[in-house]
């Protein structure tokens, strides 16, 4: 006789196992989760759909998980005992390292899931290191062993080398067919320790995710460390000291199930009626207002935007819509910051701060898709700190803020990048990193033909088109992960692009002195092709301050007049000219130069496409 399914809020921590899956995009995490839902029987086969746990359309389409979610899986193990497995899903991308670290902090163990045909990727490796730092028990697993191209022996050896176990300890599964998944769940029960906490102590729960729902308000996902979080009680957010009442407490299994409380070691959700995820921040500690904990759990950090870009509606009259859309997205995105900005060339828009390029791309895509906006985004920018000769400092997130005058030094953010690449591309990767002002920190062979390279690189270089270049130069085989590590002084200048003597703010860029000329030439020649001839000659100049470093000329149009205009031509010609004039209204005026919107989009598009590829 099987024991009854343990009740949330009254579950013995000894039978709980909290774990996550560390995997690269496409290595089969969502499929493995689907199989776990089926094997544990929490999803009726009729209701099963692929990638069950991925909520947003964007997630399902792009095969990536942006926000994590936790699912409670009752599981009867081979020892015939009933267990409760909490699978905490983690976001799988470089921009969300902090969120990943909080999800890991909610677990005692992790499944390291690697594609048996591809081996480990840089981001997986980085997340593995994070998990090891959090003292998680690692269960190495090779997925897709059913594929003809699978090389389980080779990659088992690689994994064993990385985490220091025996190749025989590496489990082999096929999430697609379900082979080996039951065994894996039994290993989870066996190897991952049960959570340990003090049920009598003041309550402490770690927020590892926080999601805005139109109907329910903010849904906060927590892992209880000590004490109990009951329904209809006053909770307190330790970073802000704000208090809220728990209107609903529950677990996801895999649909929300309301309960009376969450106890030690349990993972579930809280609803308090707050409307903004900023009031319920990832990494914060929840305690009870009546009997608060003395100290929060460690590791809380404010989300810090690293990459900035101007977002402008293509149609200027959409500006209020864009503002409303950003206000709505912000409710669900604690890391998104923005403020109004005006560009001479692009009109009214917003300067937005993002965790990274993927975050930028996701926000932009959601704005376009969910709010039907057409947007131009300016080239992404990092944060510079400019110190003047007189000691005054400027924080620059937009080239237009770059001060003129005597500059003592400019600081730029740098990252520690990890690149995994087949060994045949080591030279290529090193060359690229060198071009991008990288400093090699070290290099290790993970296996005979795979190398891990560690570099310090300016974030600005990564933001530009580094990932694109890395992928194209290694035929897609290299993978990249990075984390910001601080600032460095660099020889940076602002390059302005002038049309007919007027600077076009949207095309200004802060670049390394050695690359200013190349940038200037690239932009000037690009614009020359994109801007139609005007009634007068239009010089395009790239300049650093007053010094012109590159120049192109759009020759003046010499003739626009249609030859004939007699009695029968008058109406037609008037209408033709009216139509042309109407078309010109959609052009942006830069000084007196009419620039078609397509020219802006095309001129700004390199960075755009880089961002797109990066998220794939």
Partner 1 sequence: MASRSLGAYVHVPFCGSRCGYCDFNTYTASELQRDGTSVSADTYAQRVINEIKLTAEKKSDFVKPLETVFFGGGTPTLLPAKDLTQILAQLGQTYGLAQDCEVTTEANPDSVDKEYLETLRSGGFTRISFGHQSSSQKVLQVLDRTHTAGRTWQAVDWAKEVGFAHVSVDLIYGSPHETDEDLQLTLDEVAGAPVDHVSAYSLIVESGTRLAATIKRGELPAPSDDVAAARYEMIDKALTGMGMTWYEVSNWSLPGGECRHNIAYWRNQDWLGIGPGAHAHFDGLRQWNVRHPAAWAALVDSGDMPVADSEQLSTLDVAHENIMLALRLRSGLALSALSVAALVQAELALTDGLLDPQQFANGLAVLTFKGRLLADGLVARLWD
CB burial readout 231-266, b (16+ within 10 A) else e: bebebbbbeeeeebebebbbbbbbeeeebebbbbbb
Is 215 an interacting residue with respect to partner 1 (CB under 8 A)? no
Residue 191 burial (CB count, 10 A): 15
CB of 63 to partner 1, least distance (A): 44
Cβ burial of 222 (10 Å; 0-12, 13-18, 19+) is buried
DSSP secondary structure code for residue 534 in this structure: -
Range 78-97, binding partner 1 (CB under 8 A): none
Nearer Cβ to partner 1, position 44 or 560? Answer: 560
CA dist., res. 609 & res. 62, Å (int)? 15
Q: Per rule CB under 8 A, is residue 564 in the interface with partner 1?
A: yes
| Residue pair 205/229 in contact by the 8 Å Cβ criterion | yes
Q: Does 586 bind partner 1 (CB under 8 A)?
A: no
Min CB(484)–partner 1 separation in Å: 50
Closest CB to partner 1 among residues 255, 529: 529
CB of 536 to partner 1, least distance (A): 6
Nearest approach, Cβ of residue 588 and partner 1 (Å)? 16
Q: Which is nearer to partner 1, 49 or 585 (CB)?
A: 585
Nearest distance in Å: CB 566, partner 1: 6
Among 234, 291, 584, 586, binds partner 1 (CB under 8 A): 584
Q: Does 567 bind partner 1 (CB under 8 A)?
A: yes
Contact flag: residue 55 with partner 1 (CB under 8 A)? no
Chain centroid offset of residue 464 CA = 16
- Interaction pattern, residues 524-563, with partner 1; x per rule: CB under 8 A: -----------xx--------------------xxxxxxx
Which CB sits closer to partner 1, 46 or 559? Answer: 559
Beta bridge partners of 322: none
Closest CA to 371 of 328, 311, 339: 328
253-292 binders of partner 1 (CB under 8 A): none
Question: What tokens were used for 25?
Answer: 């995009």
Helices vs. strands in the chain: H and E counts, helices first: 15, 33
The answer to whether 570 contacts partner 1 (rule: CB under 8 A) is yes
- Smallest distance, partner 1 to C-beta of residue 580, A: 6
Q: How far is the CB of 532 from partner 1 (least distance, A)?
A: 11
Describe the chain by its helix, strand, coil percentages, rounded to 5: 30, 35, 35
Is 46 near partner 1 (CB under 8 A)?
no
Q: Is 395 in the site for partner 1 (CB under 8 A)?
A: no
CA dist 538 and 86 (Å) reads 64
The answer to whether 188 and 141 are in contact (CB under 8 A) is no
**Contact between 574 and partner 1 (CB under 8 A)?**
yes
- Cα separation, 95 vs 358, whole angstroms: 6
Question: In Å, what is the CA distance from 275 to each residue of 70, 219, 222, 279, 301?
Answer: 21, 9, 17, 8, 21
Residue 76 touching partner 1 (CB under 8 A):
no
**Min dist. Cβ of residue 524 to partner 1 (A):** 22
The CA-based angle 502-505-510, given to 5 degrees, is 120
Among 578, 589, 598, 609, binds partner 1 (CB under 8 A): 578
Which region among 160-168, 221-229, 572-580, 604-612 touches partner 1 (by CB under 8 A)? 572-580
Q: Segment near partner 1 (CB under 8 A), from 6-14, 40-48, 262-270, 580-588?
A: 580-588
Interface size with partner 1, residues (CB under 8 A): 24
Pick from 395, 440, 565, 589 the residue near partner 1 by CB under 8 A: 565
| Integer Rg of the chain from CA | 28
Q: Which of 423, 553, 580, 609 binds partner 1 (CB under 8 A)?
A: 580
Pick 327 or 569: Cβ nearer partner 1: 569
Beta bridge partners of 248: 271
Residues composing the chain: 616
Which residues are at the interface with partner 1 (CB under 8 A)? 535-536, 557-568, 570-571, 573-574, 577-578, 580-581, 584, 592
């Amino acid at each position: 006789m099987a024991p009854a399914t343990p009740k949330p809020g009254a579950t013995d921590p000894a039978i709980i196992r909290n774990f996550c899956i560390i995997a690269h995009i496409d290595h089969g995490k969502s499929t493995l989760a689907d199989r776990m839902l089926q094997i544990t029987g929490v999803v009726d086969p009729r209701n099963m759909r692929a990638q069950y746990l991925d909520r947003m359309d964007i997630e399902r389409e792009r095969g990536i998980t942006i926000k994590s979610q936790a699912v409670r899986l009752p599981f009867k193990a081979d020892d015939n005992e009933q267990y409760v497995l909490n699978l905490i899903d983690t976001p799988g991308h470089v921009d969300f390292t902090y969120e990943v670290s909080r999800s890991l902090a909610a677990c005692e163990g992790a499944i390291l899931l690697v594609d048996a045909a591809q081996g480990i990727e840089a981001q997986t490796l980085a997340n593995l290191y994070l998990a090891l730092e959090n003292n998680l028990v690692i269960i190495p697993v090779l997925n897709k062993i059913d594929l003809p191209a699978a090389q389980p022996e080779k990659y088992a050896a690689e994994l064993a080398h990385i985490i220091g176990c025996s190749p025989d300890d590496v489990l082999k599964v096929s999430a697609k067919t379900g082979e080996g998944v039951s065994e894996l769940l039994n290993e989870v029960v066996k190897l991952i320790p049960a959570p340990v906490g003090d049920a009598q102590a003041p309550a402490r729960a770690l927020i590892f995710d926080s999601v805005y729902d139109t109907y329910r308000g903010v849904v906060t996902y927590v892992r209880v460390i000590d004490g109990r979080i009951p329904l209809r009680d006053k909770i307190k957010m330790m970073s802000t000291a704000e208090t809220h009442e728990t209107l609903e407490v529950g677990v996801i299994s895999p649909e929300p199930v309301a309960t009376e409380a969450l106890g030690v070691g349990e993972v579930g959700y809280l609803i308090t009626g707050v409307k903004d995820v900023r009031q319920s921040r990832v990494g914060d500690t929840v305690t009870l207002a009546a009997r608060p904990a003395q100290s929060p759990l460690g590791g809380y950090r404010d989300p810090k935007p690293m990459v900035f870009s101007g977002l402008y509606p293509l149609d200027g009259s959409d500006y209020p819509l864009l503002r409303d859309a950003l206000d709505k997205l912000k409710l669900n995105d604690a890391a998104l910051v923005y403020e109004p900005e005006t560009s001479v060339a692009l009109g009214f828009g917003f300067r937005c701060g993002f965790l990274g390029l993927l975050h930028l791309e996701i926000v932009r895509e959601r704005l376009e898709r969910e709010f039907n906006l057409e947007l131009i985004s300016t080239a992404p920018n990092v944060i510079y700190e400019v110190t003047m000769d007189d000691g005054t400092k400027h924080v620059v997130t937009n080239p237009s803020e770059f001060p003129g005058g005597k500059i003592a030094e400019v600081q730029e953010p740098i990252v520690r990048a990890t690149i995994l690449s087949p060994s045949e591309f080591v030279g290529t990767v090193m060359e690229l990193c060198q071009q991008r002002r990288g400093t090699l920190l070290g290099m290790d062979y993970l296996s005979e033909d795979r190398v891990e390279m560690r570099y310090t690189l300016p974030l600005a270089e990564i933001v530009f088109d580094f990932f694109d270049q890395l992928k194209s130069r290694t035929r897609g085989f290299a993978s990249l992960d990075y984390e910001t590590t601080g600032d460095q002084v660099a020889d940076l200048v602002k390059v302005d692009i002038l049309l007919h003597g007027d600077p076009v703010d949207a095309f200004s860029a802060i670049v390394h002195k050695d690359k200013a000329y190349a940038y200037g030439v690239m932009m000037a020649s690009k614009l020359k092709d994109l801007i139609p001839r005007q009634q007068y000659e239009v010089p395009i100049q790239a300049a650093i301050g007053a010094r012109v470093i590159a120049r192109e000329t759009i020759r003046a149009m010499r003739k626009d007049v249609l030859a004939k205009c007699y009695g029968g031509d008058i109406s037609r010609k008037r209408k033709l000219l009216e139509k042309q004039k109407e078309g010109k209204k959609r052009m942006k005026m830069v000084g007196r130069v009419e620039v078609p919107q397509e020219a802006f989009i095309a001129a700004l598009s390199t960075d755009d496409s880089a961002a797109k590829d990066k998220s794939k």
